[in-house]
Amino acid sequence: MQAEDDTSDDTPLPSWRQRPKPIGFEIAYRLDGDALEIDTTRKIDRVRLAAVEQVRFIYAPSNVTSKSYRTQLRLSDGKSVTFGNLSWRSLTDIDRDDARYHAFVTALSAAIERANPRVRFVAGKPFALWLALALVGGLSLVMLAWFSLRAFQQGATTAGWLGILLGAVSFWQVWPMVRLNRPRELSPGEVPDELVPGRPRD
């Protein structure tokens, strides 16, 4: 996985490479003028940047890591293009290069804004999905708290502490998903650091 500056006519072309699944081909993304070139090894597609209606940034943890983030482009024809900051090396090994990912997403966002000034930049999940996540997560924590309280009241100390442990683990997993994926509008071209890691420190 890498983001690199290819050169054509002395013009740097920001690019990004990612293997999004443990089994499958690497996908290369490259900015080329007013288009995003997507090379899936089997074919090369060109997406007009002017056709991008919405850019969404989300936090998308997996069973393997909690450091997974994605950028999603919604196109005028209803299709979407999604890529993330992680690349699979094997069934058990993943690679991160947040600095290069941030650099590519920043360049892509600026190019999209230039091509389509009316494009929307948003962060987090759609409101309905985020609300469902928040409600289910909150309800689960309340149920675990009630379980622990009843267990202590009935003298089942071990069960009570187990409920507290499960509640702490659940909160540690759910809270970042709720907090980071809170739906919100962004300024045109804005790249949120909390959802696109790797910004160089000043």
* For residue 25, pLDDT beyond 60: yes
Task: Give the model's confidence band at 7: pLDDT under 50 very low, under 70 low, under 90 confident, else very high.
Answer: very low
| pLDDT for 3 | 55
* For residue 12, pLDDT beyond 70: no
Q: Report the C-alpha gap between 14 and 7 in whole angstroms.
A: 9
- Tell which wins on pLDDT, 24 or 103: 103
Q: Burial code of 37-75, b = ≥16 C-beta within 10 A, e = fewer? A: bbbeeeeeeebebbbbbebbbbbbeeeeeeebbbbbbbe
* For residue 1, pLDDT beyond 60: no
User: What does pLDDT average to over the chain?
Assistant: 87
Compute the Cα dihedral for 180, 181, 185, 188 and give only its sign.
positive
Task: Give the model's confidence band at 6: pLDDT under 50 very low, under 70 low, under 90 confident, else very high.
Answer: very low
Task: Tell me which residue of 196, 186, 188, 182 sits closest to 125, measured CA to CA.
Answer: 182
Task: Tell me which residue of 91, 71, 68, 97 sits closest to 82, measured CA to CA.
Answer: 71
Three-state secondary-structure class, residue 55: strand
| pLDDT for 196 | 95
- Tell which wins on pLDDT, 79 or 13: 79
Report how far apart the first and last C-alpha atoms of the chain are (Å, whole number): 25
CB 57 within 8 A of CB 123: yes
* For residue 2, pLDDT beyond 90: no
* Cut 0.85: pTM above it: no
